[in-house]
Structure 1
Amino acid sequence: MSAANSNSVEEIIRHIDAQADGNSRLSVGDIVGELGHRSHGPFLLLPGLIGMSPLSGIPLVPAFLAVLIAVFSLQILIGRRQLWVPDILARRHVEAATVKHALNRITPVAQWMDRWFGRRLERLSGKGAVRVAALVCLALSLAVPAFELLPFAGIAPMTAIAGFGLAILVRDGVLMLAALAITAGTAVMLFQIIASL
């Protein structure tokens, strides 16, 4: 089963993990190629999950993930079926050991997601809802630099982005609504960060 034909988060992680085996480094282009073009969900879900992991504490990692999310969100908004990554991003490499470590940390979360989410209120995860989610993810990605002012605060927008990605992947309208609620909380947090400056 290819990642492109799977609605399982764990299956997508397994495919990327297998790609990291035997390689010292993985490029962003390699990972995007592995995701395929069947669903836009993984393109938001995976950066969001990585942004929720301990890797988000590494300087500039949240900013890099935010740029990726912005690029993907814009393409979803304009209706591209197969998402593209600019060469300057596609050529960026990550140590395979780092990728495997991050994937190992998020695998239990992925297994939990596969058990509990999917096929609820599917009308709220249709094309129009996907574009609304992409617009919200774009706004969240633009706010990530402000969240970097506080250690690990970037986890808040990344959680919402991961929620939207998962909702799109498994066609779960209830999860889409939950991601919107997380976004509202994230917006409140952002105003508090700005007010404290």
Structure 2
Amino acid sequence: MADDSTALTDVVEELEDASQGTDTVKVGHLIDALDQRGYGAALAVLPLMELTPLGGIPGFPTMLALLVAILVLRMFMGYEHFWAPDWLRNRSLKSKKVLKSVEWLKPISEWIDEKLHTRLAPLTGSTGRKAASILILCLCLAVLPLEVVPFATSVPMVTISIFGLALLYHDGLLMLLGFAATGIAGFAGATLLLGG
């Protein structure tokens, strides 16, 4: 197995490299940068982007949830490489905002790299991935109605990121945490939508 001691930081740096040199960066360019690292990397980093300055752009959490849902469907179906429709790939983001978000994520990624490692790896195998895929799709569906509540979309996005980190590091304990967090996120989301 490849060394994963800088796994998440490497992914963040891939996004940084993909965003430099132009005023805008297409979503497809970022997808292609993540494709080299696999589903775990994409599912770990993309949801965290919702917590950065990019998350303040109206509609961004929903676009992010849609992209994550498409990627997770591909993972569930066993495809190795990412795909997204052209209308989503051709969406542009300001490079300055993407780079600012990446800078915000770097110290977090370095801290995570220090803490996480392979453990209970069988839980991140094929069955675990399929179970996680179903739950991630449910979390993605929750983002659209939650976007009207300030900061509420952070709950499902962080939960999705936990699953992504579990896959990236082959960390079965983190996968179990993702299952537990999904239950908590589901309860919190229902409480918010039903007005307590």
TM exceeds 0.5?
A: yes
Q: Which residue of 2 aligns with 1:156?
A: 155
Q: Which residue of 2 aligns with 1:120?
A: 119
Amino acid at match of 1:74: L
Give identity over the alignment, percent.
Answer: 30
Task: Please state how far the C-alpha of 1:193 moved relative to its aligned partner.
Answer: 1.5
Q: Which residue of 1 aligns with 2:144?
A: 145
Amino acid at match of 1:51: E
Cα RMSD between the aligned structures? 1.6
Map residues 1-197 of structure 1 onto 2, 5 A cutoff.
7=4, 8-37=7-36, 39-196=38-195
Task: Please state how far the C-alpha of 1:52 moved relative to its aligned partner.
Answer: 2.4
Amino acid at match of 2:184: G
Answer yes or no: is the 8 Å Cα contact 1:39–1:168 preserved in 2.
no
TM-score (norm 2): 0.92
Task: Please state how far the C-alpha of 1:73 moved relative to its aligned partner.
Answer: 1.1
After superposing on structure 2, the runs of 4+ consecutive aligned residues of structure 1 that deviate more than 2 Å are 36-39, 52-58
Task: Please state how far the C-alpha of 1:89 moved relative to its aligned partner.
Answer: 0.8
Answer yes or no: is the 8 Å Cα contact 1:164–1:179 preserved in 2.
yes
Of 7-16 and 164-173, more deviation after overlay is shown by 7-16
Question: In 2, distance between residues paired with 1:46 and 1:92?
Answer: 18
Number of residues of Structure 1 aligned to a counterpart in Structure 2: 193
Task: Please state how far the C-alpha of 1:38 moved relative to its aligned partner.
Answer: 5.0
Question: In 1, distance between residues paired with 2:34 and 2:114?
Answer: 21
Amino acid at match of 1:185: I
Question: In 1, distance between residues paired with 2:18 and 2:36?
Answer: 17
Task: Please state how far the C-alpha of 1:37 moved relative to its aligned partner.
Answer: 4.5
Instruction: Look up the SS of the partner of 1:26 in the other structure.
Output: strand
Q: 5+ residue gaps in structure 2?
A: none
Instruction: Look up the SS of the partner of 2:93 in the other structure.
Output: strand
Task: Please state how far the C-alpha of 1:132 moved relative to its aligned partner.
Answer: 1.2
Question: In 2, distance between residues paired with 1:178 and 1:184?
Answer: 10
Task: Please state how far the C-alpha of 1:43 moved relative to its aligned partner.
Answer: 2.1
Instruction: Look up the SS of the partner of 1:150 in the other structure.
Output: coil
Q: 5+ residue gaps in structure 1?
A: none
TM-score (norm 1): 0.92
Question: In 2, distance between residues paired with 1:26 and 1:122?
Answer: 36
When residues 111 and 38 of structure 1 are mapped into structure 2, their CA distance, relative to the original with a 3 A threshold, is closer
Answer yes or no: is the 8 Å Cα contact 2:65–2:140 preserved in 1.
yes
Question: In 1, distance between residues paired with 2:15 and 2:56?
Answer: 22
Question: In 1, distance between residues paired with 2:130 and 2:178?
Answer: 14
Amino acid at match of 2:94: E
